[in-house]
Amino acid sequence: MKTLDLIGTAVSNTFRSKTRTILTILAIFVGAFTLTLTNGLGTGINAYIDDTVSGVGASDVMTVTKNSDTDTSIGAADSGPTEYDPDAISSSGSGVPGATVVALTPDDLDTLSQIDGVEDVQATKSISADYIEGSDGTKYVVSVGELVAGQTVTLLAGTEADDASDELQVVIPTSYVDALGFDDDADAVGQTVSIGITDATRTQHVIEATVSGVAEENIASPIGASIVPNDALTQELFDTENIGVPADQTERYAQASVTFSADATDEQISDLKASLTDAGYTGTTVADQLGTIKTVIDGIVLVLNAFAVIALLAASFGIVNTLLMSVQERTREIGLMKAMGMGSGKVFGLFSLEAAFIGFLGSAIGAGIAIVAGTGISAALSTSLLADLPGLTLIAFNPVSIATIILVVMLIAFLAGTLPAARAAKADPVESLRYE
């Protein structure tokens, strides 16, 4: 019997006992459906995190702050009031109201630039604007986003603010488009907005800038109720805000961005962090910020996948039972095939292929329905519970992962079928023909 004939016979024999086979396929279906869905969940969330990494910063950039000899953050309930530190400044990016860090000075920036492994140092300028005003004359409260090196925004129209240009440019959030009097995202591009900012003498200034782009909001982006200026506008706002501030107090920064080699190994990055620590600073990479989140997500997905694997193992016993009964019911047929010259290897292959085909049917159907269900669930959630997370596809499917799941399930089914297949292969043709 040729290989194609063997496969065709195995497929046709699979449905000799339709009820038993269908029940076994359903058991495999449950495991494959669950495995595909949970795998898609992990793929979707991790893809979203990867897509928003650019909103946090480049992988070859560290956010650096200066260490303090004393705790300059808000005092905890069990530590009492925080001791005043004249070198501490507000840390607007910490997410903790009133939190402070030790200010970085030009001397600190020079020190950082001389540390082995550091290629570039850029101070992050903190700016507090009063309002933004569009064509209709209504003023709206706004904050100025602080982009670190390598950080980007997700654009819906226009382009990012050009840091190489001397023109004052700004990217505004899409939620401000209608409020500022523009028809849509595309209409806002190229328009002029006015930004109000107050200096140290309590004098308010108005700076005009051109809208270069409109950005979407996401969890990692500085866009929210924030505008993102280019370097020229950032410097203009920074200088204006510091009018009246003593010269020695102007260049004080909450943090800086340190660029290192894009080809740096994990060991080299660890060495750079250690060097920063020895010099009195703390460096945090994008991986540090997102690593814990991805670890938690991967852990949850792994636990869910474990339940799916348990379901598949349970289904494998169903395959064993189905094929053992099939071997018993076809004892005379097996004896006849062997008497006509079919070798033990081909008999083994026949029953093993039946097991693999059952696994294929269960896994393919389970994966197919999981894709349909997952796509529908993602679409429904993206317009309801997850509407505040634009760009998130909760359950996404990778063709390679789907194919791998189907092959793994077929392998499990094949292994489950080896016992009954071996039993059939060992059958004595004479004894089998005598079987009643």
User: CB 228: neighbour CB atoms within 10 A?
Assistant: 26
Q: Are residues 233 and 325 located together in one domain of the fold? A: no
Boundary-marking domain end, from 252, 282, 303: 252
In a domain, 78, yes or no: no
Q: Are residues 303 and 410 located together in one domain of the fold? A: yes
Would the pLDDT of 190 be above 90?
Answer: yes
Give the bridge partners for 257, in sequence order: 63, 122
Boundary-marking domain end, from 220, 252, 284: 252
Boundary-marking domain end, from 229, 252, 275: 252
Q: Are residues 46 and 173 located together in one domain of the fold? A: no
Q: Are residues 320 and 422 located together in one domain of the fold? A: yes
Q: Are residues 228 and 306 located together in one domain of the fold? A: no
Q: Are residues 320 and 218 located together in one domain of the fold? A: no
Q: Are residues 298 and 366 located together in one domain of the fold? A: yes
- Residue 396: pLDDT band (50, 70, 90) is confident
Q: What is the extent of the structural domain holding 234?
A: 127-252
Q: Are residues 215 and 323 located together in one domain of the fold? A: no
Q: Which pLDDT value is given to residue 275?
A: 92
In a domain, 268, yes or no: no
Write the pLDDT tens digit of every residue in 32-43: 898 888 888 888
In a domain, 175, yes or no: yes
Q: Are residues 347 and 414 located together in one domain of the fold? A: yes
Q: Which pLDDT value is given to residue 50?
A: 66
- Residue 339: pLDDT band (50, 70, 90) is confident
In a domain, 198, yes or no: yes
Of 358, 252, 290, nearest to 57 by C-alpha is 290
Write the pLDDT tens digit of every residue in 22-78: 888 888 888 889 888 888 888 887 777 666 655 555 678 888 888 876 554 444 445
Count of domains observed in the chain: 2
Question: Residue 278: helix, strand or coil by DSSP?
Answer: helix
- Residue 84: pLDDT band (50, 70, 90) is low
Q: Are residues 308 and 408 located together in one domain of the fold? A: yes
Q: How far apart are CA 35 and CA 29, in angstroms?
A: 10
338 contacts 344 by C-beta, under 8 angstroms: yes
Q: Which pLDDT value is given to residue 250?
A: 78
194 contacts 155 by C-beta, under 8 angstroms: no
DSSP code per residue over 244-263: TS-HHHHS-BSEEEEEE-TT
In a domain, 72, yes or no: no
- Residue 373: pLDDT band (50, 70, 90) is very high
In a domain, 360, yes or no: yes
Tokens 């085909």 -> residue: 357
What CA–CA distances, in Å, run from 95 to 59, 87, 144, 179, 420?
Answer: 22, 20, 15, 26, 63
- What the block records as the tokens of 293 is 């989140």
In a domain, 315, yes or no: yes
What CA–CA distances, in Å, run from 226 to 139, 145, 210?
Answer: 14, 5, 15
Q: Are residues 242 and 326 located together in one domain of the fold? A: no
In a domain, 405, yes or no: yes
Q: Are residues 30 and 152 located together in one domain of the fold? A: no
Indicate the burial class of 384 (C-beta count within 10 angstroms; 0-12, 13-18, 19 or more).
exposed
Write the pLDDT tens digit of every residue in 92-130: 544 444 456 688 888 889 999 999 999 888 888 888 899
pTM: 0.56
Would the pLDDT of 331 be above 80?
Answer: no
